[in-house]
Amino acid sequence: MNVDLFITCVNDAMFPRTGQATVRLLERLGHEVRFNANQTCCGQMHLNTGYREGALKLIRKFVDDYRDAEVVVMPSGSCAAMVRELYPEAARWGGDTELLREVEDLAPRVYELSEFLVNRLGVEDVGAYYPHRVTYHPTCHAMRVLRVGDAPLRLLRNVRGMTLLELEGAEECCGFGGTFSVKNPDVSAAMLADKTRHVLDTGAEVCTAGDNSCLLHIGGGLHRLRSGAGTVHLAEILASTEEEVFA
């Protein structure tokens, strides 16, 4: 397939290896990956903080950039959920019927990485090798909005050399929530404390997830505890092979 990669702001600015891993993984599976260098933010931060007009400008740009795409894949459940679930709502709020039509045409072709692999391609074993103890945190947007279900776990269970450890309270939010962590720092920190405790209780070396925004939060908590455990995006684990462990 011809796959357009939407890298997301967080990955572009802070976690470029995740984008590199996504490209490596998809190309290894035989797909052509295209990267639109003019891509910008999906508009989620703007919409979530009440800047609807700013969000609509970014939504229109996203549609212009990807209207002809066969599929758009994102290593982020949060941004994929924004496009699939909130773009239509934003177009309705803005009273833009043409934008709504275009969004409704494009949204079904937008995928979070794990759901693309498992649900669209029917692939659960990507030939990955990752010799570490790993636990998985299901992010809120992927789990509750996109409903990717156990797609990430089905991929992880087929990674050779890896010990997958069950995370207690896995479905509980890590406490990040974008601007939630800024507006409600005490609550956010308490939720993070619960999450990091559960991660450390597994004995895992690595906590993985499909969103680097959540991993940034969890990783910060683990670092402050000097725990020795770290975080790695799902794409980086899936891109690793016996010849080269990506992360």
Per-residue pLDDT of 130-182, as tens digits, reads 999 999 999 999 999 899 999 999 999 999 999 999 999 999 999 898 788 88
Is 148 a domain residue?
yes
Q: For residues 102 and 140, state if they share a domain.
A: no
Gap between the Cα atoms of 201 and 110, Å rounded: 36
pTM: 0.94
Q: For the CA atoms of 227, 229, 230, 233, what is the dihedral angle to 10 degrees?
A: -150
Residue 50: what pLDDT?
Answer: 86
Q: For residues 32 and 83, state if they share a domain.
A: yes
Q: For residues 94 and 70, state if they share a domain.
A: yes
Is 127 a domain residue?
no
Residue 245: what pLDDT?
Answer: 82
Domain count, the chain: 2
Q: How wide is the angle at C-alpha 59 spanned by C-alphas 58 and 62, nearest 5°?
A: 85
Q: Which of 96, 121, 146 is the last residue of a domain?
A: 121
| Chain centroid to CA 13 | 15
Judged by average pLDDT, the poorest of 47-56, 62-71, 93-102 is: 47-56
Tell me which residue range forms the domain holding 45: 2-121
Q: For residues 22 and 95, state if they share a domain.
A: yes
CB 150 within 8 Å of CB 157: no
Q: For residues 150 and 97, state if they share a domain.
A: no
Q: For residues 142 and 194, state if they share a domain.
A: yes
**Percent of the chain scoring above 90 in pLDDT:** 89
Q: For residues 11 and 112, state if they share a domain.
A: yes
Instruction: Summarize pLDDT for 177-191 with one digit per residue, the tens.
Output: 878 888 889 999 999
Q: Which of 87, 121, 155 is the last residue of a domain?
A: 121
Is 128 a domain residue?
no
Q: For residues 22 and 75, state if they share a domain.
A: yes
Q: Which of 101, 121, 141 is the last residue of a domain?
A: 121
Is 52 a domain residue?
yes
CB 140 within 8 Å of CB 104: no
Mean pLDDT across the stretch 80-86?
94
Q: For residues 73 and 6, state if they share a domain.
A: yes
Q: For residues 216 and 138, state if they share a domain.
A: yes
Q: For residues 105 and 179, state if they share a domain.
A: no
Gap between the Cα atoms of 214 and 80, Å rounded: 15
Please determine, for residue 247, whether its predicted confidence score (pLDDT) is greater than 60.
Answer: no
Instruction: Summarize pLDDT for 3-20 with one digit per residue, the tens.
Output: 999 999 999 999 999 999
Please determine, for residue 122, whether its predicted confidence score (pLDDT) is greater than 70.
Answer: yes
Q: For residues 29 and 94, state if they share a domain.
A: yes
Is 247 a domain residue?
no
Query: In the structure, what pLDDT confidence band is assigned to residue 48 with cuts at 50, 70 and 90?
Result: confident
Residue 30: what pLDDT?
Answer: 97
